């Protein structure tokens, strides 16, 4: 009697999420937009969302880092910034999970600032 053996290979390890997936997603609103030079614009990152589908990646948002496009930066979920002059500025928010190596996301938005006469 001849016996047949079937060999199966099992891959054990972390599952990788698709390249387009992220454990966190940055999102924000800026108001007023357009704003006025010399007057504050309020930035709110509370629209940023955590996801829970990546195995091994913490999904809670641990940090909010802002860049306002004029060299100024800030941190926190909600911040304000005053632009000195009129123009268009690329403001961005980067959010990171507890394990920054695992999950970061950045959103950039154009902020229009009108020069006050």
pLDDT in tens, 13-24: 333 444 445 567
Determine the Cα–Cα distance for residues 112 and 82; give it in Å rounded to an integer: 12
- CA-wise closest residue to 28 among 78, 62, 68, 73: 78
Place of tokens 């100024």: 72
pLDDT value of position 34: 97
Model confidence pTM above 0.95? no
For residue 50, the SS3 value is strand
Tokens of 84: 């000195």
Q: Pick from 29, 30, 50: which is nearest to 41 by CA?
A: 30
Q: pLDDT digit string (tens) for 54-76?
A: 566 666 888 999 999 999 999 99
């Amino acid at each position: 009697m001849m016996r047949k053996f079937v060999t199966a290979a099992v891959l054990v390890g972390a599952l990788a999420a698709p390249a387009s997936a992220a454990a966190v997603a940055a999102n924000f609103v800026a108001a007023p937009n357009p704003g006025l030079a010399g007057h504050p614009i309020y930035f709110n990152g509370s629209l940023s969302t955590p996801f829970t589908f990546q195995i091994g990646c913490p999904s809670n948002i641990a940090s909010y880092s802002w860049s306002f496009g004029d060299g100024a930066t800030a941190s926190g979920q909600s911040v304000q910034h005053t632009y000195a002059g009129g123009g268009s500025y690329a403001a961005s928010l980067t959010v990171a999970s507890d394990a920054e190596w695992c999950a970061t996301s950045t959103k950039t938005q154009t902020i229009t600032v009108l020069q006050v006469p």
